[in-house]
């Protein structure tokens, strides 16, 4: 059971209060009418599946209901950072280095 911190409620709660929504910072094609089938495959299905430090989306589904992002080491499951939706993707390499990963 992970402990997840909601940056909106500013509280740490049990994982069962949250839903993980997969890899973060995947941009929808800016002009859908111009997007190719390959663009949609990349957007909908292709994921980095990182073994190590990665950014992912979480939703405080049984709390405030809002989406936010987290950086987690997928080997140890330790969270390294929580930040609000819309904030830029952090420097994952720097975070990993700082955490000694």
Partner 1 sequence: MAGVRLPLESFPLQALVSEPVKPAFPCVVMSNTIHAYISQSDKGELVIGAGTDQFVSYSQAGGIHITNHTIDAICELFPHFRRMRMLRNWGGIVDTTPDRSPILSKTPVQGLYVNCGWGTGGFKATPGSGHVFAHTIAKDEPHPINAPFTIDRFRTGRLIDEAAAAAVAH
- Contacts to partner 1 by CB under 8 A: 1-2, 15-16, 19-20, 22-23, 37-38, 40-41, 44-47, 49-51, 54, 56, 72, 74-77
Q: How far is the CB of 99 from partner 1 (least distance, A)?
A: 16
Task: Mention every residue, 6+ apart, whose C-beta is less than 8 A from residue 97.
Answer: none
Q: How far is the CB of 35 from partner 1 (least distance, A)?
A: 12
CA distance 40 to 37: 5
Residue 75's Cβ-side half-sphere holds a number of Cα atoms within 13 Å equal to 7
Q: How far is the CB of 62 from partner 1 (least distance, A)?
A: 13
């Amino acid at each position: 059971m992970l402990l997840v911190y909601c940056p909106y409620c500013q509280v740490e709660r049990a994982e069962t209060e949250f839903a993980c929504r997969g890899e973060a910072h995947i941009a929808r094609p800016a002009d859908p009418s111009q997007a190719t089938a390959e663009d949609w495959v990349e957007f909908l299905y292709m994921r980095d599946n990182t073994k190590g430090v990665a950014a992912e989306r979480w939703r405080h589904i049984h709390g405030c209901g809002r989406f936010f992002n987290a950086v987690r080491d997928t080997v140890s499951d330790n969270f390294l950072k929580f930040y609000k939706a819309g904030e830029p993707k952090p420097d994952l390499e720097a975070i990993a280095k700082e955490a000694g990963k």
